[in-house]
Structure 1
């Protein structure tokens, strides 16, 4: 299961009260420096930096349910800031392996994995346990190892290194994906491409931003990142721009695109496709082929906040938490705005 921190808790400025289920009955007594606050009608004890070594976090089986109300912008930003140093650290690890080369293993599903994937996931899991204690995390390599937490209510989906195939071939379009799922829909997302110094993040309800951020940057606040708001573009149905997978441009995908007036088509790896849609550089991204929920959740959240939607091929919302399918997505289409009608039937 994801490791839980054993030392002092994260600074109180990064312990978002929405994600800190430290009820008296579930943890050690707070120190004199702890403060009791009220959130969503629950008294939550926020432990300060001076928490005693005896203080412990809830175990991996702990369950919490976040309020169904939309998170206010301040909580989006607190969560983003608490994850900023985590993804930068994971990005530095990945860049060290990217430049020097790394041994590759093949998993049972024939996908690739490297030590960079595993080290990055460990960093992210430990960081999330500090930033959002008690919230379950479904992470790619943990699931591969058979370690799947019980999910009731909110949970995170993590892909520590999306685009491993390209990573081992020296291609820069790999990303770190962290998405928060509430009521089966992604509400928060962070996508970071360290080799491209490209960061996408939800900053509030219906708000997404993009920044250039080098893995070696010494930043700890969003204010230091020169974030620029992003928004999807209004599509021209007669001259659409489409993004496709670099590794899965199959006959079914081509047939889908043939139903639309696509003027420009671009193959892009990893969840960067969602970021480019959110930034207004294309209009749709169809995926007719296998993907996992951790591949899409973070980018989906960013795209939705920037004005887009993601649907299945029959137009239903793409939902998350499909344990019975082992978190495998159905075929889907990511749209820059609302779904478009076909101009021809193929």
Structure 2
């Protein structure tokens, strides 16, 4: 598992380099998908790097990527283990050039994320985790263990979406009371919880499974939880739709973050 995690981290860095080539160019090649979400040359370049790399590393494990997500559930439901990938999470932040975008690669087994890497190309920071191995942050060449804030702050630090703050989240934060809100793009919101810089990330809006799988593994191996509004862990590949239900990400299990 250690060697596989190392290989996936290297692959995520390679995808990040492909993204930065486009990021530093004058032509993002912005197009739009059927749901009107943006698609750039960087998304496609990172997709190709990751899919080719995964097929070389683990030829027997199928890959589901945001950029090749048209695999029917009739085929997917037989997958015991598969890779779930978002080549460029935070395309809107990429287009804005604010640096808050990531490469997400997760290994799913029986509906659970068991190994993952979240790489931040602009800062060259990587978060990696695997069941039975631990959770780590690599920054400026140094690798260190991270963990959630188990005893939440009296005035909790809440991380929210920079581009998708819903009315439901705003109502929830009103019920929560005193808090400090930090706006952030992509799966970096999960990572702030995982390393104890935030207490809570309430997501009461639409996401897709590739948006969350890699970061969920990071949070869970750091001691946190990612649960749906009925208190159950967020699971993968259990239904035809690839959309997630609403969920909460938190570190301190002694507080009831859901029923507020």
Q: TM-score when scaled to structure 1?
A: 0.70
Change over 3 Å in CA distance of 1:328–1:342 after alignment to 2: closer
Aligned residue for 1:97?
22
- Return 5+ residue gaps in structure 1 as ranges: 1-74, 214-224
Q: Closer, same or farther in 2 for the Cα pair 1:159/1:339, shift >3 Å?
A: farther
Aligned residue in 2 for 1:288: 204
Q: Does the Cα contact within 8 Å between 1:190 and 1:298 map onto a contact in 2? A: yes
Superposed displacement of residue 344, structure 1: 8.6
Distance 1:337 1:136, change over 3 A: farther
Q: Which blocks of at least 5 consecutive residues in structure 2 are unaligned?
A: none
Change (3 A) 1:91 1:343: closer
Aligned twin of 1:111: 37
Say whether residues 1:199 and 2:99 are aligned partners. no
Residue from 319, 322, 328 that aligns with 2:243 = 328
SS in 2 for 1:233: coil
| Cα contact 2:114–2:130 (8 A) shared by 1 | no
C-alpha distance in 1, partners of 2:101/2:258? 34
Mapped partners of 1:186, 1:339: distance in 2: 24
1:212 counterpart residue number? 139
1:274 alignment partner in structure 2: 190
Query: Within 1, Cα distance between the matches of 2:106 and 2:42?
Result: 20
Question: Given that residues 173 and 196 in structure 1 are in contact (C-alpha distance below 8 angstroms), is that contact kept between their aligned partners in structure 2?
Answer: no
Which residue is 1:247 aligned to? Answer: 163
Residues 130 and 335 of structure 1, relative CA distance in 2, 3 Å threshold: same
Query: How far is 1:206 from its partner?
Result: 6.4
CA gap 1:160/1:131 in 2 versus in 1, 3 angstroms:
same
Q: Which runs of 4+ in 1 moved over 6 A?
A: none
Q: Please, what is the CA RMSD of the aligned residues?
A: 1.9
Number of aligned positions between the proteins: 256
Q: Relative contact order: is structure 1 or structure 2 higher (C-alpha 8 Å, sep ≥ 6)?
A: 2
In terms of Rg, which structure is larger? 1
Task: Give, in angstroms, the shift of residue 307 of structure 1.
Answer: 0.3
Name the SS for the 1:314 alignment partner: coil
Aligned to 1:175: 102
Offset at residue 204 of structure 1 (A): 4.8
